[in-house]
Amino acid sequence: MDIPGDVRLAATHEWARINDDGTVTVGITEHAQEQLGDLVFVETPEIDMVCEAEQPVAVVESVKAASDLYAPVAGKIIDTNGDLADSPELINDSPYEGGWIFKIQPDDVSDVENLMDSDDYANMVESGV
């Protein structure tokens, strides 16, 4: 499993990357997109939506299933990846870069550090949780 070193990960298979301006970019992990298969639709959250950590905020649909996407931290949605409307497969092709799903202004950016690091996430996936 190839996970970038600059992301933290949630048990619900979202990744979070702290940006230089204190915002957080969020997407789904490579493992999650592999489990879902070819993505055919992404329902991104509404900009300015205020959410709590672990609240469902978006949906990804594949040829196999639809799956909720959860906010990894509390905050306000400030941007979404508009490219996903026409090209949801960006998540399959580049889950940690071009396939990002939304950006959030966290209530407390330090909450990101409470998420798993890549080793802990890999161990969770390998144990089948």
Instruction: Express each pLDDT in 65-111 by its tens digit.
Output: 999 999 999 999 999 999 999 999 999 999 999 999 999 999 999 99
Tell me the pairing of strands 56-62 and 75-80.
unpaired
pLDDT score of 34: 93
**pTM > 0.85:** yes
Banded pLDDT at 128 (limits 50, 70, 90): confident
